[in-house]
Amino acid sequence: MYQQQERYSLRPKVLQLLAYFLANPHQVIKRESLLSDLWQHGEYREAALTQSINELRQALGDNAQHPTYIRTLPQQGYQWICDVKAQKCAKKQLRLVLAICGATAITVGTSIVTSAFLERAEVQEVQKSALLILPLRNETGVQANAWWGYALESVLKEHLQHTHRLLPKSQTPELLTLPTEEQPSQLRLTLKPMQQRFLLQARLDSRHAEVVVEHLDQNFTEIAQQLLFMLQGQVTRLDNHIDPSPGLADYYRGLQALNEFGPQLAKPYFEAALVLAPHHLPSQLELAQIAWHQGDISQARARFAALDITHASAVLQARYYLYLGAFQKALGEFSQAKKNAQSALILAQQSQQIELIASAYQLRADIAWHLLQWQDYTMAMNAAYALVGSRSFAYSEAQRSFYLANPPAAGPQGKNLLNLAQSKKVLSHAIEYYRQSKDKIDLAKSLFAYGQNYLVPVSESEKSLLEALQIISDSGNFHLKTQVLTYLGFYYIQLHKGEKALYYLNQVELNEQFNSAIEQLNLLKAMAFMDIGLTHSDMDATQAAQRQFSVLLAAPDTSVMTRTNATLLLAWTWLKLDNLDKAQTLTERALADYQRFSISEAATYAAYTQMYIHLLRGQPERAISLVDLDKNKDVHLMLFYSSIAAHMTQNKALEQRSTELLSVLKNSAPLLQQLDEYKQQAGHNHIKHIMLLDAPYSVYCQSKWVLE
């Protein structure tokens, strides 16, 4: 696209969108029409359309508030408001444009758009063939030589991304488990010793190439080009010697160490690279991330601030904003993190690297979760899912499922069960794959995510989490170690092992500036004390929990989510102490907040806590008023209390339906037995017998986990 003398490149889908508008000037076009015509399939369509509109406006220099080209009509759609004049163009130009993008050449002036395209004809994207570049197999017997494979792979990606759709390296375990006929094209590299030299072998589908390498120095750029010429059936061309930038060998050694051992061993390599090349931006960027992963916030801030990415590539700029956004998210600076996540997404889309784009969407999802922006969260996760499949949920949605709000063992929301099932499969393959490779950090991350998946039996998840902790403890990545220790605390709370939970939570050492993590840690410690108090009727532990919940509620900067969670959990402690008035006041407050912020699953916990209080007060009708069987047909205690209240009011229809729904749920046998015992006591003191039934905080026992 040309605007006066400026040339702009558009993604094929954005060009389709522009062509659609130009074919329908001045017409109000509904979002549904655009989605139907341009995005026929996929859960991420809404997010893709919004992003494409933004990209098109940016390319046109348009302003959404004061538009020249595209006007947004709330609740209606979009309208192209600029006059359009279509002209034919020279055949040569048309052939060239069609070859490049399968679409049109478009010149944009102030009020006239000239385009060469068949009116209303569907624009087809040029489909690049998918290619997976497998990690180099180092058969030299010297592990230190593995860095050269990272360097070679980087150069190959730079060249091949123009002719192929490169698949993310992290998808390798999943893709290699597909049937052979369904696997994508693969570039396999092997380095072997050969009489004091090295032999590099490459295989791309049915094509083979071999290059003798004299020394594993910084000659990887020339070797990569030589390989590509040979794989393409061309005569090797090495007319021009390429002088590599100094420090690259140390940089790639750093990347190898980062993936295989962690930041502690990687850091000296990046520092060595900067000794030889003080302005090497990739090394500076990795050191900035390492600084905050190791808990040095002041150094991380200084390193990020010192980076000048003005003239850096789109890929490097995208990584910069991803790293900085993740750092700001960890500090609780969500507003700034959100802006940087958006910048990362735009730049990642310019680079057209799937992994970068998916990472940017996942960062946006993380931030939206903290900001309680559920629609943005869903759209971002769906977009990530569309790009990298269930792996997006394997590493992110697993953590989403551990709501500190809810008595944790309730497990995942029903709509996520399919995602969790697929993620479990993906992670199982990943663990097997990384055990055979040298990438210990990827193995630890896969083990960590696997241990968080609610569909994994407890006997497996505990082992997986502890192995992840062991690997990460030796890596120097304090940030990741903190995440694992924190989750282990949460994990053991679910299993009624409050003392063990405190053992791991007390090992967490956090810089006071990591506000969000400290808040989460304090809430979990309070929950651990609460679990000890509720499980063992330990008054000291219950009071310790009440003190910590009260501190969180009194702090002015406590987040909305934590404040609401602490309110409900504090209500449970008062319920245990038979103070129904305080318990009811706190529960009503928590329920109102959960509903106000659309935290629907957590709201059910507050709702059936109120039901329990009404039953204790002899008010079964008020308990029934809170029942929504259609919405909560898989909530154990909601159905349980509904059956009790229906029995008390002789509402046979409600009692029958509630009991039937409860009976089909896993782990419902103890509740059904209590229900039978309660009915046998008809005519006796109902409050006395209700107090013998499972209370709301006993939801830990009603886990949706497979407890084998």
pLDDT band for 705, please (50, 70, 90 cuts). very low
Residue 62: pLDDT above 90?
Answer: no
Predicted confidence at residue 462, as pLDDT, reads 93
Q: What angle do CA 312, 315, 316 make, to 5 degrees?
A: 45
Taking the alpha carbons at both ends of the chain, their separation in whole angstroms is: 61
Residues 708/417, Cβ–Cβ less than 8 Å: no
CA 614 from chain center: how many Å? 40
pLDDT tens, position by position, 571-601: 999 999 999 999 999 999 999 998 998 887 7
Predicted confidence at residue 310, as pLDDT, reads 92
pLDDT band for 13, please (50, 70, 90 cuts). confident
Closest to 654 in 3D by CA, of 620, 616, 685:
620
Asked which of 325-334, 622-631, 693-702 is least confident by mean pLDDT, the reply is 693-702
Q: Please check whether the two domains, 248-492 and 559-702, share a CATH topology.
A: yes
274 vs 481: CA distance, rounded Å: 28
* Amino acid, single-letter form, for residue 565: N
Residue 104: pLDDT above 70?
Answer: no
Name the CATH code of domain 559-702 (choices 3.90.550, 1.25.40, 1.10.3470, 1.20.120): 1.25.40
Residue 247 or 640, more confident = 640
Predicted confidence at residue 230, as pLDDT, reads 85
Residue 553: pLDDT above 60?
Answer: yes
CA 207 from chain center: how many Å? 37
Average pLDDT over residues 419-429: 81
Residue 401: pLDDT above 50?
Answer: no
Residues 618/687, Cβ–Cβ less than 8 Å: yes
Residue 372 or 471, more confident = 471
pLDDT tens, position by position, 504-518: 999 999 888 898 889
Average pLDDT over residues 240-262: 80
Share of the chain above pLDDT 70, in %: 83
DSSP H or E stretch at residue 189: strand 185-194
Residue 406: pLDDT above 50?
Answer: no
Predicted confidence at residue 411, as pLDDT, reads 34
351 vs 369: CA distance, rounded Å: 27
Number of other residues whose CB lies within 10 A of the CB of residue 436: 9
Q: Where are the domains of the chain?
A: 2-115, 129-231, 248-492, 559-702
pLDDT band for 704, please (50, 70, 90 cuts). very low
Which ranges of 537-680 does DSSP label H, i.e. alpha helix? Answer: 539-554, 560-576, 580-596, 600-616, 620-624, 636-649, 652-663, 669-680
366 vs 371: CA distance, rounded Å: 9
Average pLDDT over residues 307-326: 94
141 vs 275: CA distance, rounded Å: 29
Residue 300 or 24, more confident = 300
Share of the chain above pLDDT 90, in %: 41
129-231 under CATH 3.40.50, yes or no: yes
- Tokens linked to 56: 């098109």
**Residue whose entry in the numeric block shows the structure tokens 């040569």:** 92
Predicted confidence at residue 387, as pLDDT, reads 77
Q: What 3-state class would DSSP assign to 190?
A: strand
Residues in the chain: 708
Average confidence score pLDDT of the chain: 82
Residue 315: pLDDT above 80?
Answer: yes
Contacts of 450 by beta carbon, 8 Å cutoff, 6+ apart: 424, 427, 428, 431, 456, 460, 461, 464
Asked which of 41-55, 148-162, 349-363, 636-650 is least confident by mean pLDDT, the reply is 41-55
332 vs 456: CA distance, rounded Å: 31
Residue 706: pLDDT above 60?
Answer: no
Residue 313: pLDDT above 60?
Answer: yes
Predicted confidence at residue 597, as pLDDT, reads 87
Predicted confidence at residue 232, as pLDDT, reads 76
CA 680 from chain center: how many Å? 50
Asked which of 104-108, 201-205, 264-268, 539-543 is least confident by mean pLDDT, the reply is 104-108
Residues 253/147, Cβ–Cβ less than 8 Å: yes
Span 248-492 CATH architecture: Alpha Horseshoe (1.25)
Residue 355: pLDDT above 70?
Answer: yes
pLDDT tens, position by position, 257-291: 998 889 999 999 999 999 999 999 999 999 999 99
Predicted confidence at residue 233, as pLDDT, reads 67
Long-range contacts of 435-443 (CB under 8 A, 24+ apart): 437/135, 438/143, 438/146, 438/260, 439/259, 439/260, 440/260, 440/261, 440/262, 440/471, 440/475, 441/258, 441/259, 441/260, 441/261, 441/262, 441/471, 441/472, 441/475, 441/477, 442/170, 442/259, 443/471
Q: What 3-state class would DSSP assign to 200?
A: strand
Predicted confidence at residue 396, as pLDDT, reads 56
Average pLDDT over residues 250-254: 92
Average pLDDT over residues 423-430: 87
- Tokens linked to 7: 């040339």
pLDDT tens, position by position, 141-171: 888 788 888 999 988 988 888 888 888 888 8
pLDDT band for 205, please (50, 70, 90 cuts). confident
- DSSP per residue over 363-418, as a string? HHHHHHHHTT-HHHHHHHHHHHHHHHTTHHIIIIIHHHT--SSS-GGG-S-GGGHH
- What is residue 194's DSSP assignment? E
Predicted confidence at residue 684, as pLDDT, reads 58
Q: Looking at the domain that runs over 2-115, which CATH code has it been given?
A: 1.10.10.10
pLDDT band for 109, please (50, 70, 90 cuts). very low
Average pLDDT over residues 612-623: 94
Predicted confidence at residue 414, as pLDDT, reads 38
586 vs 218: CA distance, rounded Å: 66
Q: What 3-state class would DSSP assign to 6?
A: strand
Residue 78: pLDDT above 50?
Answer: yes
**Residue whose entry in the numeric block shows the structure tokens 């005519």:** 683
Asked which of 15-19, 87-91, 595-599, 666-670 is least confident by mean pLDDT, the reply is 87-91
Predicted confidence at residue 646, as pLDDT, reads 94
